[in-house]
């Protein structure tokens, strides 16, 4: 793996420190009046999600981890695992629910996701900013109930519960923001 100097850090880079994959959240070069310069960083462990602060000497070398972004199509759920197909090689892989996390709430068959891979290990998942999901269950809107901005809970086809406007019915498709889990609009 290539080594990089701590002077060259950029936000979003992933580095290997003590066998841990760490993503640089923020960094700051500090040059005190006396003594040597140093780099103060805030790092997020990619596997566990914990955030730590670490100080490096200026110019110190660390290994930069190569993270591959592979576009994959979600096929189906096999027991607990999710089965994805690589769009280039057509190879199928099983992905554990731990690797996907909360994004499982937005996965429907044939949905395209980007899996972040370090070697053969899946270290993260990315979805588009919004997805279209069908409403599986919701209460009917009452006649005359037209309060401006009123909402009701709706269960989507993936099991996610979202607040939607009163006029939406079962079977309608809506757009949902994958970052916040909020209703955006009708599809």
State how far the Cα of 55 lies from the Cα of 29, in Å rounded to an integer.
Answer: 10
* Tokens read off for 69: 């972004």
79 and 38 in a single domain? The answer is: no
Q: What is the mean pLDDT of each run of 10 residues along the chain (187 residues)?
A: 86 88 91 89 88 91 89 89 89 85 84 86 84 88 64 88 87 89 86
DSSP 117-174: EETTEEEEEE--SEEEEEEEEEPPPPTT---TT-EEEEEETTS-EEEEETT--TT-EE
Please identify, among 33, 64, 95, the residue that sits at the C-terminal boundary of a domain.
64
Domain CATH number, residue 136: 2.40.50.140
pLDDT value of residue 20? 87
pLDDT value of residue 41? 93
Please identify, among 64, 89, 113, the residue that sits at the C-terminal boundary of a domain.
64
Please identify, among 94, 126, 158, the residue that sits at the C-terminal boundary of a domain.
126
What's the domain range around 134?
130-186
pTM here is 0.71
């Amino acid at each position: 793996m290539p080594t990089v100097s701590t002077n060259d850090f950029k936000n979003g880079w992933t580095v290997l420190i003590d066998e841990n994959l760490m993503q640089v959240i923020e960094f700051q070069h500090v040059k005190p009046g006396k003594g040597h310069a140093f780099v103060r960083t805030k790092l997020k462990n990619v596997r566990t999600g914990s955030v730590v602060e670490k100080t490096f000497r200026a110019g110190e070398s660390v290994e930069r981890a190569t993270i591959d972004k592979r576009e994959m199509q979600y096929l189906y759920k096999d027991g607990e695992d999710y089965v994805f197909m690589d769009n280039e090689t057509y190879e199928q892989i099983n992905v554990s629910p731990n690797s996907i996390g909360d994004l499982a709430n937005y996965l429907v068959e044939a949905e395209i996701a980007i899996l972040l891979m370090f070697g053969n290990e899946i270290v993260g998942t990315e979805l588009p900013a919004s997805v279209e999901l069908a409403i599986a269950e919701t209460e009917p809107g009452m006649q005359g109930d037209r309060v401006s901005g009123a909402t009701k809970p709706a269960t989507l086809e993936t099991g996610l519960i979202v607040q939607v406007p009163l006029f939406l019915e079962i079977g309608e498709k809506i757009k949902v923001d994958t970052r916040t889990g909020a209703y955006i609009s009708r599809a």
